[in-house]
Amino acid sequence: MTHNFTISLKNRIALTYALFISLALAILCFIINIFAGKFFTDFVKDNITAKSKEIVRMVAEQYDPWNDRFNTATIEAMGMYFAGEGYIVTVEDGNGSAIWDARSCNMRHCMDVIQDITIRMENRFNMPAVMRIDNYPVVFGNRNAGTVMIETYGPYFYSETEARFLSTINLLLLITGIVLTGISIIISAALSRAIAKPILIAASAAQKIAQTYSASSELASPKERPVIRIPDQYNTRELAELSHSINTLAEELEEGERRQKQLVSDVAHELRTPLTCLQGNIEAMIDGVYNPDKERLESCQEEIIRLANLVQDLNTLTTLEWETITLNKTEFDLAKLLQITAEQWRQSAREKGVEINLNTQETIINADYDRLKQVFINLLSNAVKYTDRGSITIAIEKTNESSAGQCVVSIADTGIGIPQDDLPHIFERFYRSDKSRSRSTGGAGIGLTIATAIVRAHGGFIEAKSGEMGTVFNIAL
């Protein structure tokens, strides 16, 4: 069994932030170190040059032009002092004869100084030993009084003080980098926790929702099921949208379950009435209470038809929701289809004192004739059922005269209307308004869902508008 390595989102975010900040700090410290080292090296080089010129100036001050000679004792003292600082001085007169040579006078001291500098530069700063000699003439007026030769560790060297200063700077940079890296890790952990916490809460809520509404859930009764909601008041838009989506999902599942139970109740009610009627009539005829005459048998047949229609509606809804709708499109006159459909309901409407008016014109469309007829039958059936007085008006309005078939069919009634709270939900499956569509007159809440699916399959849409009196359905095709 193969196990894939996974890392939690919180740790992944923390690790990413920590690596990014640490890398940025490392690059920053590296750049600072390079530039600081360069500036310090330039400073040391300038200092060595200035020191060498200072030595030459001090040696020149020991020249006596009247006697054409140098003060050897003072030069020797200065040479010994400067040798201790790493400057090996040799002074010659104008004829090239050596006046004083630090190596000759104190070879042991000079070698010790050079060795100390070499060890310091090679071991601590990885700079190999290369000795350099600079010659500086001593000029008095137009006379060449002599030459000062200064031998140093090249191209530059650090004194013990300068070396300690540079090491201290590097140590401070290292400590600063370590401290800032530690702080970045702490900040990254806190930041990742703040970002990951809402996601983990959402994931946990989604898991609870899945467990609650799974088929194997022990919480069979809705009253036993907890109300799952998570906070969605976040300043980060994506986190707020994620939390809102989880809450919406939970609400829709709760609503879907409620509607499913409502459907079962509605279907049971719809089945109970005709079955009870059939059972009563058949038992009465078996017991000889009723004669099996034509009237009794027709009553039983009506109840059977009612049952068949309900089963057919349920089967149609299942087909539309779980299968792809196959449309058998042909060209026909939409006005004639509406006229034929209206004629089927005209007598039922007149019995209630309701007139069906047609305001149509020839409109050739390419669509599925039988499917659209089913849509208009459902809508007109509702209009007749819920209109007790007034009229029902069927109209066609072309939305683009240059393109045949693009039109809007409106079916307006003067019935009891649909409450505004129910209006946004009437096309949802299993939805049923108990206020305006009472159980005594309403169906199982399937007809409008079927109509919506058929219209959408044609690339159109259906909408409803309603007030206190009357409802208008617009079907765009």
Can you read off the two tokens belonging to residue 160? Answer: 């013990």
Topology at the third CATH level for domain 324-476: Heat Shock Protein 90 (3.30.565)
What is the pLDDT at residue 440? Answer: 45
- Phi and psi of 189, rounded to 5°? -65, -45
Crossing angle of helices 160-212 and 237-286, rounded to 10°: 10
Q: Where are the domains of the chain?
A: 9-179, 324-476
Name 364's bridge partners.
Answer: 333
Rounded mean pLDDT of the chain? Answer: 79
**What's the mean pLDDT in 452-464?**
89
Distance, in Å, from the CA atom of 220 to the CA atom of 212, rounded to the nearest integer, reads 9
pLDDT digits (tens, 9 = 90+) for 387-406: 888 999 999 998 765 444 57
Structural contact between residues 392 and 412, judged by C-beta atoms closer than 8 angstroms: yes
CA 100 to chain centre: 81
Distance, in Å, from the CA atom of 37 to the CA atom of 40, rounded to the nearest integer, reads 5
| CATH number belonging to the domain at 9-179, selected among 3.30.870, 3.30.450, 3.10.450, 3.40.1580 | 3.30.450
Distance, in Å, from the CA atom of 414 to the CA atom of 471, rounded to the nearest integer, reads 7
Residue 435: pLDDT above 80?
A: no
**What's the mean pLDDT in 10-16?**
72
Residue 171: pLDDT above 80?
A: yes
Structural contact between residues 364 and 335, judged by C-beta atoms closer than 8 angstroms: no
Can you read off the two tokens belonging to residue 443? Answer: 């169906």
> In this predicted model, which residue has the larger pLDDT, 423 or 331?
331
Task: Report which of 326, 263, 275 is spatially closest to residue 300, judged by C-alpha positions.
Answer: 275
Distance, in Å, from the CA atom of 468 to the CA atom of 477, rounded to the nearest integer, reads 28
Residue 207: pLDDT above 80?
A: no
* Entry pTM: 0.46
